[in-house]
Every structure is written in C-alpha cells, then in structure tokens.
Structure 1
Amino acid sequence: MDLQLSIAADVASEITRWLDYLGAERRMSPKTLEAYRRDVGQFLAFMAEHLGGRPNLTQLAKLTPADVRAFMAARRGDGAGNRTLMRSLAGVRSFARFLERNGKGKVGALAAVRTPKLPKTLPKPLAASSAKQMTDIDVRAGEERETWVLARDAAVLALLYGSGLRISEALGLKRKDADGRDALTVLGKGNKTRMVPVLPQVTKAIADYVALCPYDLPPDGPLFLGARGGPLSPRIVQLAMARLRGALGLPDSATPHALRHSFATHLLARGGDLRAIQELLGHASLSTTQIYTAVDAEHLLDVYASAHPRA
C-alpha cells in the first residue's frame, strides 16, 4: 500500500509538525528524520490494512497491545531482526510522545508492549601496538598508491585513535582547524561541540598529509580530500582500514570505529577518569561510556587466565 494513501489527513499534519520539531529543536540529521518518517509510515500502512481503513488520531489512541504485536509479527515476517524492529518502534514511540505532549491523544498501546531485547555486545578494541601501526604509512608501502593518499589515511586514523573521534567528526574538520594547536574543536552528534586533545604525533601526521596533498586546501574547505579533490568519503577510510587488517593480520572487528573504542579502553586501562573519557568521546550519558569498564575488566581477566600459574 502507498504510504501516503495509508495516512489520514489529521495524522499527516501531525507527522509534518513532529518532523519539523525534530529537525529544528532536536537538531536531528536529515537521514535520521527520513528514517523516522519511514518507520511511522510503515506502522500506519500496516494499521490501515490491519484495521481496514486509515487510522485517524482518535483511532490511534484506541489501538490495543494486540494491534502493536500484530505489527511486530508482520515486520518479523518480512525479515526484520530485533535491532531493526527496535529502531522502528523507537520512531513510532517518538511520534506518539509528540502527540501526547501536544494534547492530540495518548497511544498507550505502544508503551504497553515490550521492546525487543538486543544481545549485549562489548566493543573490541585493538591492542595498543596494532593501533599505533595503523598510523604508520610504511605498513602500506607495498601498495600502488600515491604517497599523499597513504599520508592522508594515516592522518585520519591517527585522529580516530589519538583523539577518539568518530569518522564523521574527523572528515568534518576544516583546513583551518588543523593549525598545529594541541586541541581541536569538534562538531559531534546533535551539533554539539567539544574540545579534544591532539597529540604531537597526530599533529605531525596531519602536517605531513597537508604538505603532500596536491590540491589547494582553503581554510574553510574540508581538511581531508579524496583522490579527485572532493571531500573524502567514509567508505575510503573503511577500505584503507581493510587493507591494514590484511597487512597486519587483524580480525574483521578491527574497523575505524574500533580505533575510537581503543582510545577509550587504553585511557581507562592507564587510570583515565571515566567522566573525563565521557567528555572526550562526546557521550551525552555516562552509562554509554561505562561499557569500557566492562571491556577493561574483561581484558584483565584474560590476562589473569593466561598468565597466572594456577589458571
């Protein structure tokens, strides 16, 4: 069924207001807004078929937990896993909360249905020696690639490990940001800025790349460029990491994001304060950062099991 045909006029009007609110007030990205719009559209399309007509605001408030479970069962039948289903319900619940806050009715059935659980998976950091090798261009010396490209990749990966940046944050840097200072202002999730330290080795890696880059790097332009002079794509960084995995014999879990995990885990292992690490990573909640305490404890147990004489 066409999504537009499955949405009643009063509901469609509220969806527009909700998405405008998320974009303007919550500063969500266009991709996130599109995902939320799609999730709510799928929910309403199912309900239109399930109930035999387009549900309006009054009918949404009358939905039962059985109706929501029927939607979940249908999504599972289409091959949706727990993670996809959880994200889908999150979008629908966000819309329902918006309706309730604005006096448009409460969709109580959504709160009454339990969200699918995800297995807890801990991040897999790299060993410190492997993380350091990621920024050594000599590791990829045998590749038929221009030196400036290898220097560029090394500089990006140095930022991920040395400063704990996300790929999007590193690739969002402007040329003027890399002025040799020992700290950077980074634009993170939710358009929130934070200060991150830059080690001398990372500063040198960036300077080496800038010196070798064959393209002009205007102050307000992107710091990292692709082979044709446009902004560097995250996919290119992922491919560079894949080549390094092959060269160093590392597992598939050694991704660019694993360098960020390694940054946090190695700081914690050396006595770093959890709250300080939270600030460096740009986590809104300390509970997000606390996964690294479990990672570090797991590492200590592995060391104990492998080294203790009675293990």
Structure 2
Amino acid sequence: MPTSPAPQGRHPKVVIAEFMDEAAIAAELGGFTTLYDPALVDRPADLRAALADADALVVRNRTQVNAALLAAAPDLKAVGRLGVGLDNIDLAACRARGIAVYPATGANDVAVAEYVIGTAMLLLRGAYGATAAVAAGTWPRNALMGREISGKRLGLVGFGAIARETARRALALGMRVSAHDPFLPADDPAWRLECGPVDRADLATLIAGSDVLSLHVPLTDETKGMIDAGAIARMPAGAVLINAARGEVVDGAAVAEALRAGHLGGAALDVFPQEPLDAAAGAAYRDLPNLVLTPHIAGVTQESNVRVSRVTAQAVRRHLSEG
C-alpha cells in the first residue's frame, strides 16, 4: 500500500515511484518525508504532482526521467535508480540542473549472473518441460536427450561487473569463456579471473564461436540492433542466445525466426523494446518451446531487491543529508 509519513516540520521529501523493499525505506529514509507508491509510474499526472515539492525521486526502469518530468520537480536534488541501467534517465538534463543520479551499482550482479547460467542450463538440457508428458505415461526419454553445459563456450558481449560474475560461475561449471569489450584494455587484470582466464575476442569471432551467447551491454547507438538476423545467422547451429541487457540490442523477430528454423537451439529474452510486452508484440514468440520469456526480472530476486533498495536509499539519504 502507498505510504506517506508526515514528520513535523520541513524534512526532505523522497518520492518512490516503483516497487522497493519497504524495510529499506524504513531503515534508511527514516526522518524524511517519503511517498512510496509503486503504481505511481502508471499515473503520470499524479507523479508530476507528487514531484512538485520533492527533493529526491527513486525509480526502476519504467519511469522516464526526462526533461518534461524534471520540469515538474523544481526542488529535485537526486534521482536514485533501483538497478544499473540509466537509459530511462536523461543524464544531460540532470547534469544541467545539478541533479545527482545514483544507480545501485553491483547490487544485482549475482541475480543476473545466476539468471544467465540458469537459463543456459535449462535450454541446453531441454528436459524440464516434460512434466505433462511424463505424468501422462508417454515417457519421452529419447526425445529429451539434451546437452551438458560443461565444455561449452560462453561468449559474453561486454565484460563489466555482471559479465564477470557470470564468467566465474561458468568457469566453475567447466565452461570455456570468451568476451568482447572494446573498452577494456588487453592488459586489464579482469581478463585473468581468480577462477580462470577469459579469452579476449573481437565481436565477429565471439558470435561465430559461442555455444551460449549472453549480452551485457548498455543501450547506445553502437549496440542498438547489434544482434540482428545477420549476426544470429553467424552463430553456431544449435547455439543459445540470452539477453538480459536491453531489448533494443536484439532483433526479437529474427530470434523467433531462427528458433522456428532450428538454427538457434534456444533463447532467453528478459528485456524488450516495448515493456510491458503486449499481446500483439508477443504474438511473434508463440509456440516456441525452446524459448524463455521473462518480464525484465533477471536482476530482481528477493535478495537483490533488498540489496538494491538499501544501496539506493543510502545514496539518496547521504546526498540529501550532506546537501
């Protein structure tokens, strides 16, 4: 339920427009005036009204913190992002106003890494959708002879903190790991993880040689449409594609077509150009048993929600207290 404590006197006001751990709000934002309404993102007029006297705004990825929204918040001093992607926040407009932006860097790395490894294992093995058939007595053993993850090559497009957590888990499972990151020098120690080395590769080589390809890049002009029909065609037959980065990085229709044609062995898509995905857009993905669709949840677990909420609330509290 939305909560709006009203302390005596003028305390900094924090508006929280999407879901957040309530214990973190109570522990870290006590003494502030907080308006917590996780449905506020879906009521733009109410959000603008709430921001009229707000000192800070806390969002996830759905709230578009653009110049128009900032104009409704003349006293805004900080924006907390419950996550790490910042493409829904107009950073230039925030800088022009002197508004600090605080992403929850590192707080959901483990959750995303586990999602990537979990879906890779699920799709390679291909056995876990057989409950109804087994219960009906059909016993489809021969049809469910899947693949092991050990010995496969994981390709990581981008090698930041989340990709490195993914690499650690992949290496522990016996995978070989390669990554492409043009912003990470060849002599950076990140290429030599404590659990094993990660091969540095150009993008074309990575795409052509990965049994599992996982995307870990922000949405930029360079990454938009990076994995299109041509790139998918260059992936090995039977490869698995996982996108928990940003929807616009991948051509979803091309993924569906490659799955139907049997070129891709599986895919997991957690992000989409349009969120929520409506029925018309979702029609392209129907009747594909080797496809996993999830609602932008790779980085959201019970544990990561607590970490993300606490880190974000602490950053906002510190900024407002010191300011």
Query: Which band: TM-score by shorter chain?
Result: under 0.3
**Which structure would you say has the larger Rg?**
1
TM-score scaled to structure 1, two decimals? 0.24
- Pick the structure with more strand per residue: 2
More helix by share: 1
TM-score of the pair, normalised by structure 2: 0.23
